[in-house]
Structures are given as structure tokens and as C-alpha cells.
Amino acid sequence: MPQKHDIVILGGGMITEMQILPSIYHLQRLGLIDHISICALNSPPLQQLAKNTTLKKAFPGQSFTSFPDFDSVSPKENFPELYKKVIKDIPPRNIVAIALPDQLHFETVMYALEHDQHVLCVKPLALKNEHAIQIEKTAYERGLFVGIEYHKRFDDRVAIARQKYRAGHFGEFRLGMATLIEPWYYRDSNFQNWCTTENSDMFTYIGCHYVDQVHMITGLLPTQISVYGSVEDYPNGNQGYLWTNARIVWENGASLSVLNGMGYPNVGPGGNSQGIWLFTQGEKDGGILFHDDQYRGIKHSYLVKGTDPGESYYNEPSPDYFKLIDRGGQGLTPVGYGYRSIEGIVQAIDRVESTGQANLEQRQKVIKQIDAEGIIATPANSAFNELVIQAGRMSILSGGRDVVIEYGEKPQVRFKELSEYHQI
């Protein structure tokens, strides 16, 4: 029997507004979530969430407790440590959802675990493999579940490809290309304050989705990475790697190019440009997997244009990521893999809690089962993602040098030595 869980969402930015909060509101409607709190650095994003007319229409009568309280503090005041008090105040073994800038994930996930909370964390879990290992160990010792929100794992086309690949219908992956170019207008947003050369880059920010997806489909692990990035100015003068070109070599010798950027035309018909193309081989013939993840078969041309950045008359909306639609009943219902991913992680937490409750061993057993299923990304089954990010950062900061990933007892990343290159 599912239980009701309280949830604290840390971060009130774009991903919370677009995907996490509406999904959580729906789970509250379904009886899986009880009380919702959201903690942000300051009050403006919280006020924006509370006033969001789409959310009000979709979830009438539902709301959240705001930390800080946006009615009583100055919009200019920051509360960087407030999340600690909010986490301390919820009863043990509820849920903390982390939707903060990447560089804050490790310390906040650890804080939540040390205060006995299950965790839903947006990708990437951490920026270093040793941090992911520390998270895995702490969570397991305490019988707490950590789910990393790689929502493309819940895109049905990925699940179909995984089944077909693992049944041998594609043969073996040899060569591939993936692209995910985010809109130009992201440059004007809060990205310019945190997605800067010293913290991140477009491959780290968004390329990881397709590296994760190739693993999800094929089960292969990445073993070598090189990332070239060109440094560009943001409108506020900060600098970022706004166009990146990564090459990932896999344990079977296959290679994948991943192109990322912040330059999808504002006037373009989609939310971004994205897709993957894999070439595979069997004994006597080759196979192909091609997913156009931006154009999903819908063409609309409207008579009125929205006022948000990136809105255009001609649109190719995706019905597959996240939409709020009328399914009858009160308000609107979230559909798509963005919703299913949040639901999947909350249900996994519920599986851990419902079996055995106070029994640590029982909870650990369920955590191991979910790790082994390989559907939800967990610290145990997706640690390669942290190694990829670590290797990718090392490479991009040194102009694109090859960085090798070594697995085993003590996984590590290191520059490839000249002597290791194959000489003809």
C-alpha cells in the first residue's frame, strides 16, 4: 500500500517550474505526496512559482510552503543556508528533491542523507566520481534511496531501443552521433551566472543525457573522452563553453560524437534541436537506430504568438517530454517522460519505504533490486556518468586532450599517454 511522503524541493528555477513541481502536484493529487515545501536562494523564484497561472489552472487549490516566505522578506536578501533548517525540520525518511545548480548537488545530497532523507536529484548527481561513491555508500548504509533524474530513460522510444538492442536485433553498436542544442535565449537567463567556464560547459550540462542513453540502450561503458569547446561571452560578460564537440569511445571500441550548444534559433519551431543516430553491425549486415527527438511528427502554425522567449508562430511541439493536458476531472494532467521519470523515482522511494519500513536490511535489499533493474539511474548503476563528466571537464580545460576512464576497485580518469596511441 503506497504511503504519503512529504517532499522538500531545493531550488525554484526552470526545471522545478517546468517539470518537477507540476509532477509533484500531480503525485500529491494521486495521494503519494503529502506536504510540499520549496526552498530557494531568495524569494523571487518562489513568488514566480506561486503566481504561475498555468500551474494554478492545472492544480487548483494546491500550493507549497515557501522558504524563505516570499511575502515577508526582501527580494534582494539571500538565504544560502536556509535549506539546512528546512531539511532538519521534516520527519526522517521523507523526500528531498535537489534542483540546484550542478556544483551544489554533492553537499546538499549528503546533507539530506545525513538527515535521513531519500533523495531525488536532477542530473548530474555530482561532478566527481569519488563524490558519487560517497553518496552511494552513505545512502546504502542508511537504507535510503537516491534516484538521479535522467528523464530520457523514461522516453518510451529509448525503452523500445533497449529491448531490441538487448535481444540482439541491432547487432553491436559501432558508430554514432547525438546532438542537443539548447535555445539561444538561454544566454540571457541565469545560465550566464553559473554555466561558466570554471564550473561547467554545454557537454557537462546536457551532453550527459545521450551518453547515459547509449549506456541505457547498449549496456556499454564509456572508456575514453575528448571534448573540444569554444569559449564565448555571455551578455553579462562572463565566459562559457557555449559550443562543445565531444567524442566518446566505448569499451567495445565504438565511438559516439556528441554535439552540444546554446544556439538553437529563438525563432525555431522546437524547444531545442536533439536526436541520436547509431550505426550497428551484425555478422552479415549493418543496422541503424535513428531518433529525431525534436520533431516528433506534429506541425502547428498559430495565429497568435506567445510572449515567452523562443515562442514562434510555426511550432513543432513535442507531445513526449512534458505537457499538461485535459484528461477530465479537476485541472490538468501531466503526461510525458518528464512526468514518468519523477513518478518512477517517487515510486521507487515508496517501494523502499513500503517494504520493511524500519527494517534496514529489507530496505537495502530493495535498493539493490532497483540498482540491478537499471531503469532508474542510481549512484550504483550510473557512476560512469560522473566519470564521464570528470573526464570531460579535464579534457575541455586542456583543449580537447584524450582522457581515459579506468574502472575497477578504484575508478579513475587520467590523460592518455602518447605511447598508448596505436601507431601504423
Q: Which region, judged by CB under 6 A, interacts with ligand NAD, from 25-33, 40-48, 129-137, 257-265? A: 40-48
Q: Contact at 8 Å (CB) between 402 and 226?
A: yes
CA atoms in the 13 A half-sphere facing the CB of 137: 6
Q: Does 83 bind ligand NAD (CB under 6 A)?
A: yes
Q: Does 68 bind ligand NAD (CB under 6 A)?
A: no
Q: Does 339 bind ligand NAD (CB under 6 A)?
A: no
Pick the binder of ligand NAD from 14, 133, 177, 249 (CB under 6 A).
Answer: 14
Give the residue carrying C-alpha cell 476531472: 329
Q: How many CB atoms lie within 10 A of CB 110?
A: 17
Pick the binder of ligand NAD from 9, 21, 28, 45 (CB under 6 A).
Answer: 45
Mark residues 91-110: x for contact with ligand NAD by CB under 6 A, - for none.
--------xxxx-x------
Peptide bond into 124 cis (omega under 30): yes
Q: Does 41 bind ligand NAD (CB under 6 A)?
A: yes
Q: Does 15 bind ligand NAD (CB under 6 A)?
A: yes
Q: Does 367 bind ligand NAD (CB under 6 A)?
A: no
Pick the binder of ligand NAD from 8, 24, 39, 132 (CB under 6 A).
Answer: 39
Q: Does 205 bind ligand NAD (CB under 6 A)?
A: yes
As given in the structure block, the three cell numbers for residue 302 are 498559430
Pick the binder of ligand NAD from 7, 9, 10, 225 (CB under 6 A).
Answer: 10
Please, what is the minimum distance in Å from the beta carbon of residue 107 to ligand NAD? 9
Residues 84, 86: Cα–Cα separation, whole Å: 5
User: Residue 102's closest CA among 140, 144, 149?
Assistant: 149
Please, what is the minimum distance in Å from the beta carbon of residue 324 to ligand NAD? 18
Phi-psi map region of 171: left, alpha, beta (phi>0 left; psi -120 to 50 alpha): left
Q: Contact at 8 Å (CB) between 358 and 143?
A: no
The site that binds ligand NAD (CB under 6 A) totals a number of residues, namely 24
Please, what is the minimum distance in Å from the beta carbon of residue 148 to ligand NAD? 9
Burial 167-178 (b: 16+ CB within 10 A, else e): eeebbebbebeb
Give the residue carrying C-alpha cell 566527481: 128
DSSP-assigned letter for residue 214? H
Please, what is the minimum distance in Å from the beta carbon of residue 99 to ligand NAD? 5
User: Residue 157's closest CA among 320, 373, 295?
Assistant: 320
Closer residue to ligand NAD (CB): 102 or 293:
102
DSSP-assigned letter for residue 261? E
Q: Which region, judged by CB under 6 A, interacts with ligand NAD, from 34-42, 137-145, 284-292, 412-420? A: 34-42
Closer residue to ligand NAD (CB): 113 or 254:
113
Q: Does 123 bind ligand NAD (CB under 6 A)?
A: yes
Give the residue carrying C-alpha cell 531501443: 161
**If residue 232 lies in a helix (H) or strand (E), which one and from where to where?**
strand 222-233
Closer residue to ligand NAD (CB): 40 or 135:
40
Residues that bind ligand NAD (CB under 6 A): 10-16, 39-42, 45, 80, 83, 99-102, 104, 122-123, 151, 190, 205
